[in-house]
Amino acid sequence: ATARFVQLQRCLADDRLAEARALWRHLQPLTRACFAEPNPAPTKAALAQRGWLHDELRPPMLPASAATADALTRTLALLALPA
């Protein structure tokens, strides 16, 4: 969702707060899911769901839980982000 976060930053920089708030409300579920567990587990899980890499972490790090992975799947679908 990089383009949407860039758009959010531009709205803030241009003092378009109503538009920034609307964008943030739209992006907040993704941010919440990405930070539900220590990184990089949720980030790698989301990228693996997109087929961009394997969901593997070196010990002692653990992959994202099934609950976080499910939340990411739902959130990515709701945001309709292109693969």
**Phi and psi based region of residue 80 (left: phi greater than 0; alpha: psi -120 to 50; beta: remaining):** left
How much is the pLDDT for 81?
Answer: 64
pLDDT bin (cut points 50, 70, 90) of residue 83 is: very low
Work out the mean pLDDT of the chain and round it to a whole number. Answer: 91
Rounded to 5°, the CA angle 27-30-32 comes to: 110
Mean pLDDT confidence for 7-14: 97
Strand boundaries in the chain, DSSP class E = none
Write down the pTM of the prediction. Answer: 0.76
CB 62 within 8 A of CB 40: no
Q: What is the mean pLDDT of residues 57-69?
A: 93
